[in-house]
């Protein structure tokens, strides 16, 4: 990198959420941004880990630059997925952001304790949600720098 100006390189995003409706809305919001692109949608933590570790059928899957995950999921919920990610040396560098409707203090506390890079409460209103996603993009592309290999 020789340019000091932050560039709007597309960032591959792994979305982990079991709700189809939520995924559609998230996709709508992400598609409305310039840099955030959905690499893959996993319906739970097990599938997400499998994708990240390039287990079949994901041998050729690209490594995502950001992970957005919900807390409420079957099989392996958000907090457990977070723990697994942060205990895996190959994956722990990827920032994982919790995106959920819950604003329970206990959830927030637990999420950061498990190594979440952020905790975003999903607004009920879609326009608001789209705004939040846009700000997330700005933050991760204009303010922060992501580790290499993304």
**What is the Cα–Cα distance from 144 to 142, expressed in whole angstroms?**
6
Sole window of 1-9, 33-41, 51-59, 119-127 interacting with other proteins (rule: CB under 8 A)? 119-127
**Residues 127 to 146 in contact with other proteins, rule: CB under 8 A:** 127, 129
Q: What are 99's strand-pairing partners?
A: 120
Task: Please give the Cα distance from 53 to 59 (Å, whole number).
Answer: 8
**Site string (17-56) toward other proteins, x via CB under 8 A:** --x-xx--x--x----------------------------
Q: What is the C-alpha separation between 79 and 100, in angstroms, rounded? A: 12
CA angle 111, 80, 94 (to 5 degrees): 65
Residue (4 or 127) nearer to other proteins, CB: 127
The binding site for other proteins (CB under 8 A) comprises 19, 21-22, 25, 28, 101, 124-127, 129
């Amino acid at each position: 990198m020789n340019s000091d100006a932050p560039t709007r390189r597309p960032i591959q995003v792994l979305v982990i959420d079991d709700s189809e409706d939520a995924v559609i809305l998230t996709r709508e919001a992400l598609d409305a941004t310039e840099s955030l692109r959905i690499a893959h949608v996993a319906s739970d933590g097990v599938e997400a880990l499998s994708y990240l570790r390039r287990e079949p059928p994901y041998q050729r899957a690209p490594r995502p630059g950001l992970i957005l995950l919900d807390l409420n999921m079957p099989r392996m919920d958000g907090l457990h997925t977070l723990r697994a990610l942060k205990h895996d040396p190959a994956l722990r560098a990827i920032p994982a952001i919790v995106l959920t409707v819950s604003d329970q203090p206990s959830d927030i506390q637990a999420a950061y304790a498990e190594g979440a890079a952020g905790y975003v409460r999903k607004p009920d209103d879609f326009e608001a949600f789209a705004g939040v996603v846009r700000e997330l993009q700005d933050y991760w592309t204009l303010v922060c720098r992501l580790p290499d290999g993304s």
